[in-house]
């Protein structure tokens, strides 16, 4: 039996992972800004109420994070799996983006994730076991018009998670980066803000503007099934040697492979310039 600590449990991947973990026999500390949507988790999963602890949590409130993590550890004796799921989106070309909006997104997607992780890690280090599962995105490996700042937040999650994985591996703690493609999680619906009409720039209508409309029009009809994704996430979290990366959905899997090929092709054409920049290089970079 594992004890999960899940952020952003009110909907999307957070809720589905909570339900899947409960059905598997695990215990869940389900957190969200409001606990109103968490009261039915045990009933929906068909488990006893004592398997679930629902707590209000704003991941950007450091004092609340410390209090809630301590309460979770006291209630269940420790946290085995941290599922950092809380996050938001924002649709706008980079030049159109409003600073208040992208700073808020960074606070939630990056600094909130880091703060919760740092609050949970001491317990995992003491027990020399644990798994940190961070939700990134296919957009954490490749960028798209209209979501440059969202990409930036998820690229940050990727980099932070890679470094963390190397730091905690000798301590018995594992890190998994979940990289979903498009899923019907309301990511492109009401949870995401977008550029205001007065801030739109006509020159970006065919790129960022078109992509933004595509995201919005496809909201709720994405090919990914959140319940299937949750089953994969919970299964991997139970593995003794989980992967560092878990792409979810064909679009994410294929998209990440395409990005790796594009990078290889892009840098190969000027390998001589890249290698020639070393002081010890014998090649002529001119």
d(CA 12, CA 121): 25
Q: Which residues are catalytic?
A: 136, 150, 154
Enumerate residues 6+ apart whose C-beta is below 8 A from 174: 130, 131, 132, 165, 168, 241, 242
d(CA 182, CA 215): 9
The residue with tokens 């076991």 is: 129
d(CA 210, CA 207): 5
For helices 148-168 and 99-106, angle between their N-to-C axes, nearest 10 degrees: 20
The residue with tokens 């090649």 is: 283
Enumerate residues 6+ apart whose C-beta is below 8 A from 3: 26, 27, 28, 29, 72, 76, 77, 78, 79, 80, 81
Rounded to the nearest 10 degrees, how much is the dihedral formed by the CA atoms of 23, 29, 34, 39?
40
Enumerate residues 6+ apart whose C-beta is below 8 A from 167: none
Parallel, antiparallel, or unpaired: how do β-strands 90-91 and 130-135 relate?
unpaired
């Amino acid at each position: 039996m594992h004890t999960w600590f899940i952020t952003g449990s009110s909907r999307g991947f957070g809720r589905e992972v909570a339900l899947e973990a409960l059905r598997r026999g695990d215990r869940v500390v389900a957190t969200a800004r409001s606990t109103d949507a968490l009261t039915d988790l045990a009933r929906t999963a068909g488990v006893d109420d004592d398997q679930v602890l629902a707590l209000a949590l704003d991941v950007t409130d450091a004092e609340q994070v410390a209090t809630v993590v301590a309460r979770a550890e006291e209630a269940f004796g420790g946290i085995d799996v941290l599922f950092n799921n809380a996050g938001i989106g924002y649709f706008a070309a980079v030049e159109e983006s409003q600073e208040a909006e992208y700073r808020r997104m960074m606070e939630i997607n990056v600094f909130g994730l880091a703060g919760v992780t740092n609050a949970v890690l001491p317990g995992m280090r003491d027990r020399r076991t644990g798994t940190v599962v961070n939700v990134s995105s296919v957009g954490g490996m490749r960028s798209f018009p209209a979501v440059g700042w969202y990409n930036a937040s998820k690229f940050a999650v990727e980099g932070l998670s890679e470094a963390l994985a190397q730091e905690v591996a000798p301590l018995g703690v594992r890190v998994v980066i979940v990289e979903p493609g498009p899923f019907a999680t309301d990511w492109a619906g009401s949870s995401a803000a977008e550029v205001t009409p007065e801030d739109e720039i006509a020159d970006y209508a065919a790129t960022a503007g078109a992509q933004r409309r595509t995201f919005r029009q496809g909201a709720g009809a994405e090919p990914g099934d959140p319940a299937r994704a949750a089953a994969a996430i919970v299964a991997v979290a139970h593995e003794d040697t989980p992967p560092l990366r878990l792409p979810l959905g064909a679009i994410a899997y294929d998209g990440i492979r395409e990005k790796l090929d594009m990078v290889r092709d892009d840098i190969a054409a000027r390998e001589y310039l890249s290698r020639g920049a070393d002081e010890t290089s014998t090649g002529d970079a001119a």
